[in-house]
Structure 1
Amino acid sequence: MTTTESRPPAGGPSEQPGPVVRTTAGAVRGRREEGLAVFRGIPFAAPPVGEARFGAPRPARAWDGIREAYAFGPPPPQDLGLMAGPGLIDVPEGDDWLTVNVWTPDPDPAARRPVMVWIYGGAYRIGHAGSPGYDARRIAADGDLVVVTLNYRVGMEGFAHVEGAPANRGLLDQVAALEWVQDNIEAFGGDPGQVTVFGESAGAGSVSSLLVMERAAGLFRRAIAQSVPGPYFSDALARDIGGALAAEVGLRPTVADLSTVDPRRLTAAGEALGPKMPRYLDRWGQAAPTVTPFAPVVDGEVLTSTPWQALRAGAARDIDLLVGHNRDEYRLFVAMAGELGRITEEGAASALRVFAPGPDGAQAYRTAFPGASPSELYERVQSDWLFAMPSLRLAEAQHAGGGRVHFYELTWPAPGSGGALGACHGLDIPLLFGTFGADLGALLFAGAEPSGEALALSSRFRSSWTAFARTGDPGWPAYDPEERLVQVLDAEPVVTAYPEEASRRLWEGHDFPPLPLL
């Protein structure tokens, strides 16, 4: 583990004065690193503490002089134990959670390069833009563009239903960061008219939400959603889960009550409730087995419908969309639970009963996948429900609404654990960022030097993603529901009809409505 520094180390070229850029709140000084100018920890909103607790983000306070933008801002309050892993930095202290980081080839306002804005995942309960796995230098350098990463509130602070507070505060933070990009990115050499948002898992759910949020209209031109999660909460379900969360710390789910608890201690509510959620299956339905008490809420104000419904109605027809998923999404979670190869027939039957679509879904899965083992059925139905089919249906909804969309599936298996993890959830992150030894990459690549095959696929990820950010074309045909052409990303990438046809047929017509309170 390494500690983030607030000043350049003594001696060497890093002592040379770094570039200075003036933002709307004040001037910031960055560093020159490997041919890029890098700025870290720039506030895009005021710390959401004190009277601002649980509120919508407020403008950042202005400062005098030149602020050193050398260190990442502190992460939002969360269970940091979930972030443990090789390569993680020691997180800084403080309440300035809402910050952005910028990698740019040249902070020249005349450059007007395309801009990519990364939104991290983490089940809406963890995440930090300063994690080494999100080091964006390779994307910025290879694509000759500007990359921005941002922090947003997660868990209780960002997504719990709290009476007297707006819903989806984490999404509102993302909107505020995108507004900061519009106001400031030209000074860093970026083009505010050429902004692409991209994110994975909960970050992809965030991107999908931003596509259809009225408050985000006009803030970006293109969007990339990697492994879109299906669960969105209805207002009634969010209220009920919010009450259970507050009860874990002996309080009511109100701003007045919850504001009495330090934000870093309030994370205990989510940590305590998560393992208990399966007990609420008869009340919370499909949300209960996820053990994740946070998701975007269709509250009727910040988010008026799910992305699938709104895209089908044409809400983002003017935004280019790139979306896809990994073949073996759920295997990561099976492995993390120590259950690889140990799923029983009873476990498979339970998963099919809860997650397969329609009254005859369980039998339909067995018919569609004859000879599948209990482990294969258990993984397949949960991969489909949680990520694969939400991603595919998002593409279909965008096309139906008159928008342009490209689709991909990652099928290349992670080399870690002898290849047993397959093309699991999260594998696209180290491939895209080229961070094979950090965070999840250290597990999926087993700490070994990446092979030539891995490096080639990693380069292809970046070239496709940055080409899409620049032109709207990642290098393969657009998706349509007749030919269903997708880019399969493997050792030998190929464009073909969507490979998961059996699953596609099983989920045809299912649009992932908000999860109800039963």
Structure 2
Amino acid sequence: GSASLPRRAPRANRGRAKSVANATRTAVTRGPRRAGSHPTTMRCTFVLLVLSCCTVAVLADDSVVNPPTGPIQGVVTPFAREFRGVPFGKAGRWEAPASPAPWTTPLDATKDGPGCPQACVLPKKGCPPTTSEDCLLLNVFTPLPGAEERAMNGDRNGGAGGAPVMVFLHGGNCKQGYAGGPLYDGTHLVNTTGVVLVVIQYRLGMLGWLTTNTTMPANLGMQDQIQALRWVQDNIAAFGGDPSAVTVFGQSAGAVSIATLLTVPETKGLYRAAIMESEPFGIPFRRKLASEQWTYDVGTKYAGCPSGRPVDDCLRAMTTEQIIAAQVKAEKDVLDNAHDLFELFWPWGFTIGDAMVTAQPLHAWQAGAVIDVPFIIGTNRDEGTPFIYEAMGKPASRLEYDVLLGVLFGVGNAITIGFEYPVPKNTTDARPTMARATTDGLFACGTRNGTSAVIDAPHTTSKKYIYHFNKVLSFNKFVWGPNYKECYDMVCHAGELPEVFHPNATLVGTQYKPDEQVLSTAMETYWSNMARNLDPGSAVPSAGAAPLTWP
């Protein structure tokens, strides 16, 4: 019932190299030549050894690429080429990102770089082992020769410029996560589908999302994402990718970012399609004045800045550790004393009303003010479960349920919602009911409402696709770890990621049952087809398989 990484088809000269190696091994272990044996045996052995060495040299060269930024040394695995910890930008603290300085000595990209500073509470495997403010890094996974042709049964549709490119933006409430998380390992995806995958990092928490009206620009985390997309345009061809065939996709905060990027005209042309997994459209973001007040409150109340000193000067003088400590204090206080929906679930995030982000993403979508590209968008069955159980660490009474409804949706709406989502009479825990209301209120309803408005907009010509993910995975325990037991039998937020990336080679315990393998193949195919052909159901997943069509 388990599924391992598929064996790759022979690459050019690989079968010949193996034969050469075997023939060489046979020749050198045969022992002394018998009298009268053929005189060319030793010459043949020497030639075979030379050919074998040459083949190894060619394979080794596959691990080096030469983009305009400078040479990069990666690694070649049995299933993909990997380039990890590649800098796409540079930025001082609370400064806009810029392109990195070019280099001439090969960059060591054989292992993950540090994550951006954070107080990570994700399952342990999803947290970076090291962090640094110098964290504008990305990972690139490229298929070995033949992967795309195999995926397309020999019909290579990536374009004359190379393979289609998929750029992934990780989730984590804009406060945690990193490109090296095992759920984002791209080995299986690129080997199976032939795409080039880029997984990016961006600044988080206080360092990515605070702003003042003077020297701390708004939405620096989003500016990092845009800088990464520009890097892809300038450099991805060296990795075998087609810069004109970029699809940007992301989950949770990554999906929020993409939904917002689609409302920013400056990003037009950096991608031609999008995929958004679990976009919490129901969460509003702070407007500019509220964000500036939040920055002041964080500095004075949680970071200890004196009232007579400019907050930005005070925060710049602090160590990274002091900033993260202040961030933890702020998050705990918000969780204990939240007064609205945004504060409870998203203390760090976008500022509305700056030069680029002019409206709430959902409002912009409802007005049809979205860059017209094909996209896939969807939600999971139990999106709200981990959020509610994190906010309420013990069983909740009916009274606590009513209070939380008022905090999340306003007192006026709470009465109506209470009728639509009643707590069962015999239950002693209202959290499951609260999770259902949160799933619909924050995720499903906004996704359907916003997407319908975009489809109906006069300028919309490209197709939009909606999905609903409801598969409980047999290995949820290994994905979520001991602190998220409520998700073992649920389809929680992020529950679709193992089916999109199929990371069983890097995430211990993810042994796929046959139906889970089929679903993973389907999702990898849908996602990569969107990148390749702007249509998720436009190709077959593998030789001999039936075509996949979007329902």
Same fold by TM (over 0.5)? yes
Matching of residue 44 in structure 1 with residue 112 in structure 2: no
- Which of residues 323, 329, 335 is equivalent to 1:266? 323
Matching of residue 100 in structure 1 with residue 138 in structure 2: yes
107-116 or 64-73, which deviates more: 107-116
1:62 corresponds to which residue?
A: 102
1:455 corresponds to which residue?
A: 517
**What displacement does 1:214 show?**
2.7
Q: Is the 8 A contact 2:84 2:110 kept in 1?
A: yes
**Matches for 1:191-230 after TM superposition, within 5 Å:** 191-230=242-281
304-313 or 178-187, which deviates more: 304-313
CA distance, structure 2, for counterparts of residue 306 and residue 119 of structure 1: 20
AA in 1 matched with 2:134: D
- The structure having more radius of gyration, on CA atoms, is 2
58-67 or 14-23, which deviates more: 14-23
- CA distance 1:336–1:215, change in 2 (3 Å): same
1:244 corresponds to which residue?
A: 297
**Matches for 1:52-201 after TM superposition, within 5 Å:** 52-80=92-120, 82-83=121-122, 85-86=124-125, 90-91=129-130, 94-106=132-144, 112-162=162-212, 163-201=214-252
Matching of residue 428 in structure 1 with residue 528 in structure 2: no
CA distance, structure 2, for counterparts of residue 67 and residue 150 of structure 1: 17
**What displacement does 1:317 show?**
4.6
**What displacement does 1:302 show?**
2.6
Q: Is the 8 A contact 2:69 2:102 kept in 1?
A: yes
AA in 1 matched with 2:490: G
CA distance, structure 2, for counterparts of residue 389 and residue 263 of structure 1: 39
Q: Is the 8 A contact 1:25 1:61 kept in 2?
A: yes
**Matches for 1:283-298 after TM superposition, within 5 Å:** 285-290=340-345, 292-298=346-352
- RMSD after superposition: 2.9
* SS of equivalent to 1:406: strand
1:485 corresponds to which residue?
A: none
CA distance, structure 1, for counterparts of residue 78 and residue 505 of structure 2: 19
Matching of residue 32 in structure 1 with residue 76 in structure 2: yes
**What displacement does 1:264 show?**
3.8
TM-score normalised by structure 2 residue count: 0.75
Matching of residue 348 in structure 1 with residue 404 in structure 2: no
Q: Is the 8 A contact 1:87 1:437 kept in 2?
A: no
CA distance, structure 2, for counterparts of residue 151 and residue 222 of structure 1: 20
* SS of equivalent to 1:212: coil
* SS of equivalent to 2:356: coil
- CA distance 1:207–1:265, change in 2 (3 Å): same
**What displacement does 1:494 show?**
11
2:470 corresponds to which residue?
A: 411
CA distance, structure 1, for counterparts of residue 230 and residue 359 of structure 2: 22
- CA distance 1:253–1:307, change in 2 (3 Å): farther
**What displacement does 1:174 show?**
0.3
CA distance, structure 2, for counterparts of residue 246 and residue 102 of structure 1: 37
**What displacement does 1:328 show?**
0.8
**What displacement does 1:391 show?**
2.2
Deviations 1:447-487 (A, max 9, x none): 463322222222222111111111222239xxxxxxxxxxx
* SS of equivalent to 2:166: strand
* SS of equivalent to 2:124: coil
Matching of residue 19 in structure 1 with residue 19 in structure 2: no
CA distance, structure 2, for counterparts of residue 310 and residue 87 of structure 1: 32
Q: Which runs of 5+ in 2 are unaligned?
A: 1-55, 147-158, 478-484, 539-547
Q: Is the 8 A contact 2:167 2:249 kept in 1?
A: yes
Q: Is the 8 A contact 1:88 1:132 kept in 2?
A: no
CA distance, structure 2, for counterparts of residue 182 and residue 430 of structure 1: 28
**What displacement does 1:124 show?**
0.4
Q: Is the 8 A contact 2:94 2:207 kept in 1?
A: yes
AA in 1 matched with 2:313: A
AA in 2 matched with 1:352: L
Deviations 1:188-234 (A, max 9, x none): 11111111110000111111111111331210011111111233221
2:431 corresponds to which residue?
A: 375
Q: Is the 8 A contact 1:54 1:255 kept in 2?
A: no
Identity of aligned residues (%): 29
CA distance, structure 1, for counterparts of residue 235 and residue 467 of structure 2: 32
Deviations 1:286-337 (A, max 9, x none): 22333x4201111331311122232344433521111010011111234456
Aligned residues: 451
- CA distance 1:405–1:448, change in 2 (3 Å): closer
CA distance, structure 2, for counterparts of residue 123 and residue 375 of structure 1: 21
**What displacement does 1:371 show?**
6.4
Q: Which runs of 5+ in 1 are unaligned?
A: 1-12, 477-492, 497-518
